Chains A and B, each alone.
Chain A
Amino acid sequence: MSSTFFLIGIGFFISIAAWLLFIWAVKSGQFEDPEAPKFRMLDDDDEQMQKNKTVKKE
């Protein structure tokens, strides 16, 4: 029956990790501008494209 306590312990650590992730997300401004990222995702970054090309050549 001690497996219950063991599982509770694991659950506790996972949830604390998720909570810390949430705090980090709020503090680093992840929720500040919910509009722009969906557009930013679509814009092809020139430098990255060049990098991708060189990777492909290799």
Chain B
Amino acid sequence: MVTCDHCLQEINKASAITVTIDDEPKQFCCHGCYGVYQLIHNNSLDSFYHQRSNWVPGPPRTIHLDTSAFNDTITSSGNEHQINLLLSGIRCASCVWLIEKFLMKLEGIRSARVNYATHRATITWVSEIVTLSTILDAIRSIGYQSHPCRQNSTADVLASEKQELLLRFGTAAFFSMQLMLFTAALYAGFFQGIEYRYKLSFQLISWALATPVVFYSGFPFLSSAFRSVRTGMLNMDILITLGSLSAYLYSIAMIARGGEVFFDTAAMIITFILLGRFLETGSKLTAGNAIAKLAELQPQEARVVSLTGETTMTSITNLHDGDRIEIIPGDRIPLDGTVLEGEAEVNESMLTGESNAVLKKKGSQVFAGTFSINGRLSITVTGDAGNTLLSRIISTVEEAQSRKAPIQGIADKTAGYFVPATIVLALCTFLYWKLSSGNNVTALMNAVSVLVIACPCALGLATPLAILVGTTAAGKKGILVKGGDIFETVSKTTTVILDKTGTITRGNPSITDLQDFGNSSSFLQHVASLEAGSEHPSGKAIVAAWNDKHLKVEQFKATAGKGVSGIIDGITWLAGSKTFMKQESIEIAPKHQQSASLLEHEGKTIVMVACGTTLAGIIALIDDLRDDALQLITALRNKGLSLHMLTGDNPGVAAYIATQCGITNVQAELGPLEKALVIHTLRAEGKCVMMVGDGINDAPALTEADVGVTLGHASGIALESASVAILKDDLNLITTLIEGSSKCFSIIRQNLVWAFSYNLIALPLAVSGLLHPIVSALLMAASSLCVVSNSLRLKKI
């Protein structure tokens, strides 16, 4: 018996495929394994075979999943059960197709439906024929992970809210359209004359059509207005309710008196404002789904090591402080903890945003959701599933999102003054007419017409329309602005915070200095050949700098987090950090020591290279400034904005980059939550903060900031937690955004001034009882038209 050189499975020598690769005979169990081996070998990635220390022969094992974590999400009726699962690993429509079809082939499954947009599966099964663990194993066997999907999550609440709003808005829009038909006839009738029976019946039909809009679609406004009156906190909803309800009641009274009706005003206010709320909930919902996807990063099960040393898989909900778990290469770490034994490079990019793997050894802290690249770790769990850094990040993002209340802010502030003023004015009108004419009905009619005139039609239209046009224009340039109030906030920004990696710098290092102490002309070729097997970004940068032939490296060995070694043409070559050189007892002359520390002082990463037992050279790498970074920084400074730079990187690099681009406020070595804290402090000082970043590690900061901006290649969660997403990788668009938003905001201000001046002219007329209803209707239309055409100017940002 021999073993397959790729998958290590035992095979019969007779059936093995024997190939000679680089003068060595290799055996493979199948052509598939041979193909993969060739692919790896041809790309000089053979170190894969040296690094896989804990390889289990054959295809990946299927592990029996503990279903206890899912139990509380099952709904049962009789022997029929239903569960909602969140699936990770879905990439395209074929995945959805495969999961559905595969599950339907299982006996006992009643239905299986996967939602492509939310990655949620709804599965119904009969308990006597099939069990939940069989279903979960089946999903796992085709390569997808299931996670329990709790019903009371923010996303679910938002989804049902969105559906309710859709019903209310759909109804409102539908009846308003019907209503406009009859209103148009009534308007025509006013000018050309209309038979009384038609006028009356059209008015009655209008009444019937407006009723569901005001009382069903407008119910959220009515109840919110009622609540706010009780608590004494005046808001925009009162204005909406007051406007539509007074128009509605006035019209009913007018039917009785044979006057003109305003049911369309009552219905239209509600329809337009509902549309705005519906769109807003939709964008909140996508953000909620992104949070759910972040939670997917945390595995649901862990390998527990018992006191006797046996390992078993169990659900992470059963694990507590002090339990011991094991991580094998490629595993995501399920819980926060401290390393007990073992050494491994761990990819923490989802937390820190830095792509460099971090070396973890005895005593190091590891975090849930990160994953081990190349080593086995034994970990003591600290805290439980609900208390990991990942879950704290998720809750920070959720909290910050729920705290924001778009559009409402401006309108509520206005309503605070406008509502009492209008009510006082209406009361004065009533009293004046009652005292002067003594006619109760005339007095009431005039008072109500004041309320109708004061209704926030233009006020309600002025802001959302300008924002709609502005966001569409920005969207065409590749700037996605999510939510209404953002333009206003952007135009008020006083402080801009820039993340270093990926925003100011490119995010991938390149070689700046190459000091070759020996005299071998092929120094770089040797180092590049050596580093070809390295996964480290510095190593990759060195490989990228050499695009000629690679030399053959023997006995390649990578020491995690330190460096690489190998034999080229019979001479041992080493490349790595200073500590790696010391460890391999390579002597570093004082002058080399000095030049290295000089380079380090400039914020560069140092790779030392040794040939045999002597130091052969030093390579310095740096993460370059982006070409457009200086342009952006100058433009922002010219606008009088104060600039800050935050980074998770070390202070040396941060200081170097900061001096290069002229930013004085720099804070380095910050974690995701610390970045958010910095912004929180700035906001507490009364600054309006814009944060520009791109990693998941920036997500809390992006939500904490007044405006979060992400750039082109940003990670999914950053995209969702930011209020502005710039899709093109062009920093100058940030300047465009700031300019566009101040233009948008000035147009909103013009709209508001216009809307108020209409009120200013019309209100005195209404108070004096002079305003003919149809004239006021015309004035309303004219004022809306002005607001609309003014807003359309924003098309060119």
Spell out A's residues near B (CB within 8 Å): 4-5, 8, 15, 18-19, 22-23, 26-27, 31-36, 39-40, 43
Contacts and interface: CB of A to CB of B under 8 A. Distances in A.
Contacts of B178: 15
Given A4-B198, A26-B167, A36 B116 contact: yes
A23 B96 contact: no
Given A15-B178, A18-B174, A36 B96 contact: yes
B111 interface: no
Contacts of B114: 36
Nearest to B93: A39
Interface string B156-185: 000100010011001100110010000000
Contacts of B166: 26, 31
Nearest to A15: B178
B187 to A, nearest CB: 17
Contact of A32 (B97, B115, B170, B175): B115
Contacts of A27: 167
Contacts of A26: 163, 166-167, 170
B742 interface: no
Given A23-B171, A35-B117, A43-B97, 6 more contacts: A19-B175, A31-B166, A35-B93, A36-B114, A36-B116, A39-B93
B115 A36 contact: yes
A1 to B, nearest CB: 8
Given A4-B198, A5-B201, A43-B97, A36 B117 contact: yes
15 contacts: A8-B205, A15-B174, A22-B171, A26-B167, A27-B167, A33-B117, A33-B118, A34-B117, A35-B93, A35-B117, A36-B96, A36-B116, A39-B93, A39-B97, A40-B93
A32 B167 CA distance: 13
A47 B117 CA distance: 26
Contacts of B174: 15, 18-19, 22
A33 B167 contact: no
A6 B162 CA distance: 38
Given A26-B166, A39-B93, A39-B97, A19 B171 contact: yes
A36 B115 CA distance: 7
Dominant secondary structure at the A interface: helix
A38 to B, nearest CB: 8
A21 to B, nearest CB: 11
B796 to A, nearest CB: 31
Contacts of B93: 35-36, 39-40
Nearest to B167: A26
Contacts of B97: 39-40, 43
B11 to A, nearest CB: 36
Contacts of A35: 93, 116-117
A26 B205 CA distance: 26
Interface of B: 93, 96-97, 114-118, 159, 163, 166-167, 170-171, 174-175, 178, 198, 201, 205
Nearest to B174: A19
A19 B174 CA distance: 7
Contacts of A32: 115, 159, 163
A22 B170 CA distance: 8
A26 B163 CA distance: 7
Contacts of B205: 8
A39 B96 contact: yes
A46 to B, nearest CB: 9
B3 to A, nearest CB: 40
A8 B205 CA distance: 10
Contacts of B118: 33
A6 B167 CA distance: 29
A33 B171 contact: no
A35 B119 CA distance: 11
A9 to B, nearest CB: 10
A36 B122 CA distance: 14
Contact of B167 (A18, A23, A43): A23
Contacts of A40: 93, 97
B478 to A, nearest CB: 23
A11 B663 CA distance: 68
Nearest to B181: A11
A36 to B, nearest CB: 4
Contacts of B115: 32-33, 36
Contacts of A36: 93, 96, 114-117
B114 to A, nearest CB: 8
Contacts of A33: 115-118
Contacts of A8: 205
Contacts of B167: 23, 26-27
A5 B178 CA distance: 15
A35 B289 CA distance: 15
Nearest to A25: B170
A43 B118 CA distance: 20
A4 B199 CA distance: 13
A26 B159 CA distance: 12
Contacts of B201: 5
A43 B159 CA distance: 28
Contact of A39 (B116, B170, B171, B198): B116
A11 B205 CA distance: 12
A16 to B, nearest CB: 10
A55 B412 CA distance: 65
A48 B713 CA distance: 43
A39 B166 CA distance: 24
A4 B185 CA distance: 12
The 7 residue pairs across chains A and B that have the minimum distance between CB atoms:
A39-B93, A36-B116, A35-B116, A35-B117, A33-B115, A26-B167, A22-B170
B90 to A, nearest CB: 11
Contacts of A18: 174
Contacts of B96: 36, 39
Residue of B96, B118, B159 most packed against chain A (CB within 10 A) = B96
Nearest to A37: B116
Nearest to B198: A4
A19 B172 CA distance: 10
Contacts of B159: 32
A4 B201 CA distance: 11
Contacts of B175: 19
A28 B115 CA distance: 14
Nearest to A46: B101
Nearest to A43: B97
A3 to B, nearest CB: 13
B389 to A, nearest CB: 32
Nearest to A34: B117
Contacts of A39: 93, 96-97, 116
A4 B195 CA distance: 13
A51 B650 CA distance: 67
A6 B692 CA distance: 63
A27 B198 CA distance: 37
B263 to A, nearest CB: 16
A14 B117 CA distance: 34
